[in-house]
Amino acid sequence: MSAGSSRDRRPQRHAALAALLEAEGLGALLVTSRPNIRYLTGFSGSAGVVVATRTALLLVTDFRYDEQARQECGAFARVEIEGTSVWDRLFKELGAGVSGLVSGGSVGFEAHATSVKDAERFASAPGAAWRWKPAGELVERLRVRKDAGEVAAIRAAAGVAGAALRDTFAGVRPGQTELEIAGVLEGALRRHGSEAHPFATIVASGPRSALPHAHTSARTVAAGEWLLLDFGAVVDGYCADVTRTVVVGARADETQRALYGLVQEAQRLAREGVRAGMSGRDADALARDPIDARGFGAAFGHSTGHGLGLEVHEAPRLARTAQDPLPEGAVVTIEPGVYVAGRGGVRIEDDVHLSPDGPVLLTDGCTDLVELV
């Protein structure tokens, strides 16, 4: 997205951050979180730091990203390239006076995204004696509410994920290993346009499907077993997150149908009932209560969902401990699961936009039990 485009939201994002800086009494914010740097400037490289004042943005990166940084930032952020130490160049620019920053003023930093080593640099910085202050997650406060372009990117990523899954299902057979199936799925994700895998793909079969975050293994999938696939796609930097659980090589037995039906109903109730303004705890209860009522509460040990955007896990949270209201505009996952040790588990996950008019499904919502026979 080019600077100055009618759809470019970076000016509004910077203005909103400037208001937060004023409210926090900060002259500037040092941004080191890569997703936050991309959100503010458009820069998607792996190395760089940003100084955001109330009137300007400065990106300092290295020679590898000279052309890329200027293309992605356009005229919206000043780009400085450093051939040796990005940090030395940053402090030099601060000493020279970044627009809007008063010498010796307060500079916030992202404590959650700053290593101890980097924090130690602040005390030894040359030039003006900047007053460094941990600033909390200021940019994350802005990122939680998705604009139309962000929602469109997540929807596109969800479309890629759905298409890749359909391609994968067409070739799944008993006798394949989890790693083989994961390879087919990841290849399909790339063919359909995913820029990356936002997390390690989970393919878990049989009793291993009862491990909520199983590592994909060399285990061979047998006929009649659960096969759980948890995976993502990325479009324009934004993530989709999908989980489907199927039966391979046979029809589901009655026990499998009952367990799947319980999770499917809990997931449907939550994805249709979630609303902006309700607490994360109340949203979690939409899926948790029906599972508790059937005696499987102890087998659902994780939260119902989480925020989704430039990162696959971000605010808000849909969890028993989450008291804060869900913001309007957020995109969240809805992913209840029931896990029975030694027998296997079921998880179903879709992505939902909390629009002013209610929940809008961004993934395909195809949650009927699939039997790959």
Identify the CATH number of the domain in which residue 109 sits: 3.40.350.10
Task: Answer yes or no: is 59 within a domain.
Answer: yes
pTM of the model: 0.93
Residues 49, 73 within the same domain: yes
* 161 occurs within a structural domain: yes
Choosing from 113, 143, 173, the residue where a domain stops is 143
3 inside domain: no
- Please indicate, yes or no, whether residues 128 and 90 belong to a single structural domain of this protein: yes
Can you tell me which residue has the tokens 């000279």? 66
Of 108, 143, 178, the domain-final residue: 143
Torsion of CA 200, 206, 212, 213, to 10 degrees: -20
Same domain, 62 and 77: yes
Q: Which helix (H) or strand (E) holds 206?
A: none
Instruction: Please tell me whether residues 14 and 157 are part of one structural domain.
Output: no
- Give the angle 83-88-94 at the CA atoms, nearest 5°: 120
DSSP states of 241-272 = EEEEEEEESS---HHHHHHHHHHHHHHHHHHH
Count CB atoms within 10 A of the CB of residue 316: 22
Say whether both 193 and 317 belong to one domain. yes
Q: Could you tell me if residue 287 is inside a domain? A: yes
Within a domain: 227? yes
For the record, the structure tokens of 373 come out as 């026979």
45 and 116 share a domain? Answer: yes
Mark whether 72 and 181 lie in a shared domain: no
- Residue 5 covered by a domain: no
Strands 350-355 vs 331-334: parallel, antiparallel or unpaired: antiparallel
Regarding whether 316 and 228 lie in a shared domain, the answer is yes
User: Residue 73: which domain range?
Assistant: 10-143
Q: Are residues 69 and 197 in the same domain?
A: no
Residue 126 confidence (pLDDT) = 66
Query: 119 and 258: one domain?
Result: no
State whether residue 226 is helix, strand or coil: strand
β-strand 344-347 against 371-372: which pairing, if any? unpaired
153 domain residue, yes or no: yes
Phi (first) and psi of residue 132, to 5 degrees = -85, 135
Last residue of a domain, one of 143, 178, 213: 143
Torsion 20-21-25-30 (CA) sign: positive
- Residue pLDDT tens, the chain, 373 long: 443 344 899 999 999 999 999 999 998 999 999 999 999 999 999 999 999 999 999 999 999 999 999 999 999 999 999 888 888 888 888 777 666 565 557 889 999 998 888 888 887 776 556 788 999 899 999 999 999 999 999 999 999 999 999 999 999 999 999 999 999 999 999 999 999 999 999 999 999 999 999 999 999 999 999 999 999 999 999 999 999 999 999 999 999 999 999 999 999 999 999 999 999 999 999 999 999 999 999 999 999 999 999 999 999 999 999 999 999 999 999 999 999 999 999 999 999 999 999 999 999 999 999 999 9
Q: Could you give the number of structural domains in the chain?
A: 2
The CATH number given to whatever domain includes residue 154 is: 3.90.230.10
Torsion 250-253-255-259 (CA) sign: positive
Closest Cα partner for 212 from 221, 202, 222? 202
Q: Within 13 Å of residue 160, how many CA atoms lie on the same side as its CB?
A: 28
* Distance (Å, whole) CA 40 – CA 61: 15
pLDDT for position 99: 62
Which residues touch 152 (CB under 8 Å, ≥6 apart)? none
Judged on CB neighbours under 10 Å (0-12, 13-18, 19+), 273 is: middle
Question: Are residues 351 and 204 part of one domain?
Answer: yes
302 part of a folded domain: yes
Do 361 and 219 reside in the same domain of the chain? yes
